[in-house]
Amino acid sequence: MNRESKLLVVAIAIAVLNILSHLLLSKFFTEYSWVEMSLASIPFIMMLMCVFAVRYAARTLKESDKDEG
């Protein structure tokens, strides 16, 4: 799997988490106790995924610059 594909997977996973969180906000899931904890953790998971993706992209860019120079 190449570098761009890995970052694309991260972007798709973040989009899926965003859609999932909106679906969990619907009235159908209000009686479940696990929904509140799940909805509270989703933004933190998304932020961590973004941080690791940016760090991965920066490391990859540094490696490609080192290979060229």
Task: Give the start-to-end residue ranges of the domains of the chain.
Answer: 3-65
State the Cα–Cα distance between residues 42 and 17, nearest whole angstrom. 7
Q: Is the pLDDT of residue 50 over 80?
A: yes
pLDDT in tens, 3-34: 889 999 999 999 999 999 998 888 788 788 88
What's the average model confidence in pLDDT over 41-61?
A: 94
Of 13, 2, 1, the residue nearest 49 (C-alpha): 13
Q: Rounded to two decimals, what is the model's pTM?
A: 0.80
What's the average model confidence in pLDDT over 48-59?
A: 94
Token readout for 37 is 């904890």
